[in-house]
Amino acid sequence: EVQLVDSGGGLVQTGGSLRLSCAASGFTFDDYAICWLRQAPGKEREGVSCISESSAYYADSVKGRFTISSDNTKKTVFLQMNSLKPEDTAVYHCAATPAIWFSVSDDGSPPRDGMDYWGKGTQVTVSS
């Protein structure tokens, strides 16, 4: 059974940091692209960051502040989020799709849909 368990969200002040984790099981980790997507109330889902075959991709809104990494031995992907802003407040989901099917959006940003497996999400709230 494929499982993605995302965790690490919480409440932080502006400028603070959080590290999200996505623990994967039930599929060949190395063959998949893993992404973080977020959705805030009343807003469209946004692709935040992806890692696929050792390449990392970021939305412009998080470049320079967020870093995605993976521990293949633990089958876990991390999203280190620094310099958090109130506009980063959202539910963050990790999601996976086979690397051979992975592609970025036309503008080079991480995809906002088209993923095959999803975690349940973790809430990130940044207070001003």
- Residue 113 CB burial class (10 angstroms; 0-12, 13-18, ≥19): exposed
Counting beta carbons within 10 angstroms of the beta carbon of residue 12, is it exposed (0 to 12), middle (13 to 18) or buried (19 or more)?
Answer: middle
pLDDT digits (tens, 9 = 90+) for 2-32: 999 999 999 999 999 999 999 999 999 999 9
Residue 105's pLDDT is 87
